[in-house]
């Protein structure tokens, strides 16, 4: 079964600084990979998803993620943090076929003015 590890339960950055949120998955076979964002008191929204063949995936709100098969990683980045980026971010993975999505434990991003 797939599993996903998010390094760092809380990340704090200054406004305008680089955002880097780390995600590693367990399988040697590239699965489906996603990043979701959760704003306070809301459900999760899709930020971006991995498409086979692409190494750099662009999402909404200026976020992007780089798929590195050799490192089984799918880290999320944004060049310049904005106050509105403060939220919890979840990496998720699933295998091919009708297998459910497995989520990481989440990383809470704080943005300091």
Partner 1 sequence: NAGVTQTPKFQVLKTGQSMTLQCAQDMNHEYMSWYRQDPGMGLRLIHYSVGAGITDQGEVPNGYNVSRSTTEDFPLRLLSAAPSQTSVYFCASSSLPDSNSPLHFGNGTRLTVT
Pick the binder of partner 1 from 85, 90, 93, 111 (CB under 8 A).
90
CA dihedral 1, 89, 110, 8 (to 10 degrees): 10
Cα-atom radius of gyration of the chain, to the nearest Å? 13
Nearest to 78 by CA among 20, 7, 11, 8: 20
Phi-psi region of 26 (alpha: psi -120 to 50; beta: other; left: phi over 0): alpha
Ranges within 57-76 binding partner 1 (CB under 8 A)? none
104 binds partner 1 (CB under 8 A): yes
Nearer CB in complex with partner 1: 12/45: 45
44 binds partner 1 (CB under 8 A): yes
- Closest approach of partner 1 to the CB of residue 6, in Å: 8
- Contact residues toward partner 1 (CB under 8 A) are 9, 32, 34, 36, 41-46, 49, 51, 90, 94, 96-106
């Amino acid at each position: 079964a797939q599993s996903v590890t998010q390094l760092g339960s809380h990340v704090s950055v200054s406004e305008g600084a680089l955002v880097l949120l780390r995600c590693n998955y367990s399988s040697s076979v590239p699965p489906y990979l996603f990043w979701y964002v959760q704003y306070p008191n809301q459900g999760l929204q899709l930020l971006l998803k991995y498409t086979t063949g692409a190494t750099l995936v662009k999402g909404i709100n200026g976020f992007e993620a780089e798929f590195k098969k050799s490192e089984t990683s799918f880290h999320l980045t944004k060049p310049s943090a904005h106050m509105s980026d403060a939220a919890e971010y979840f990496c998720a993975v699933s295998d091919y076929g009708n297998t459910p999505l497995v989520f990481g434990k989440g990383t809470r991003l704080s943005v300091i003015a």
